[in-house]
Amino acid sequence: MLEKLKEDVFRANLDLVRHGLVMMTFGNVSRFERSSGLMVIKPSGVSYNEMTVNDMVVTDLSGSVIEGALKPSTDTRTYLALYQAFPGIGGVVYTHSTYATAWAQAGMAIPCLGTTHADYFHGPVPATRRLTAEETETDYEYNTGLLIAEVLGGAAPLTMPAVLVTSHAPFTWGETPAQAVHVAVILEEVARMATLTASIAPPGEIDKHLLDRHYLRKHSSGSYYGQKK
């Protein structure tokens, strides 16, 4: 059942390794199919090079395993909170990629310092507040998902497809797992560039007119970037 979805999630997880965004068993990718209400996710603690497509786990929106012999990722409830909070998304990625995690550990939003950033994120990539002790000691993973939704506030998730969870790591998303992986790759590069820029000179944010030009030429009804489909 859901062979195509399992294949997508399996491939997307291997892409994290291919792009150097994960080490050991860090990170994972999930996909949510709105029509069936089912989520496919990587199993917990299974190494990427041992993992097979049949190891992918299928759960419903309450997190109950519908199909799969292995335990789903311990981050399952974070994903469920995000799929419930963000109606338009179908894929979520979570990594501990080096530079994006450094900004998460600093609890700092990544400022928009240039057009590379502006091409993907319509403003600074936000960092969450810290979890309260109660949030950590109760439904920690689910509360992490709520924290991500909280910092995004009313912004459309697909215009800001990334959030840094303070003291922890980055989460990215898209309509598909492949899109969420693409954003995770760009986020890591943008975080690295921002770190380098800050080490060269105290950075000034990009001008709004340039931010809008670059973001909207790629992500708006009037977009003209790329080849006509």
**Known active-site residue 119:** yes
What DSSP string runs through 39-62?
EEEPBTT--TTT--GGG-EEEETT
Question: Which entry of 60, 140, 207, 225 is annotated as an active-site residue?
Answer: 225
Angle between helical axes of 177-200 and 98-106 (0-180°, round to 10): 70
Give me the least distance between CB of 159 and Zn ion, in Å please: 25
Query: Smallest Cα–Cα separation from 114: which of 204, 44, 178?
Result: 204
Question: Which residue is associated with the tokens 């998460």?
Answer: 104
Report in angstroms how near the CB of residue 221 gets to Zn ion at its nearest: 37
Of residues 92, 107, 89, the one with CA closest to residue 171: 92
Contact 144, 168 (CB under 8 A): yes
Nearer Cβ to Zn ion (93/169) = 169
**Least Cβ distance, residue 162 to Zn ion (angstroms):** 15
Q: Decide whether 169 or 187 has the Cβ nearer to Zn ion.
A: 169
Which C-beta is closer to Zn ion: that of 27 or that of 174? 27
Number of residues near Zn ion (by CB under 5 A): 1
| Minimum distance, C-beta of residue 171 to Zn ion, in the bound complex (Å) | 10
Q: Which is nearer to Zn ion, 10 or 94 (CB)?
A: 94
Q: Where are the beta strands (DSSP E) in the chain?
A: 28-33, 38-41, 57-60, 65-67, 91-94, 162-164, 170-174
| Smallest gap from residue 169 Cβ to Zn ion (A) | 5
Sheet holding 57-60, edge to edge: 65-67, 57-60, 38-41, 28-33, 91-94, 170-174, 162-164
List the structure tokens of 102: 């450094």
Residues 150 to 179 in contact with Zn ion, rule: CB under 5 A? 169
CB of 79 or CB of 215, closer to Zn ion: 79
Residues known to be catalytic: 119, 225
Binding site for Zn ion (CB under 5 A): 169
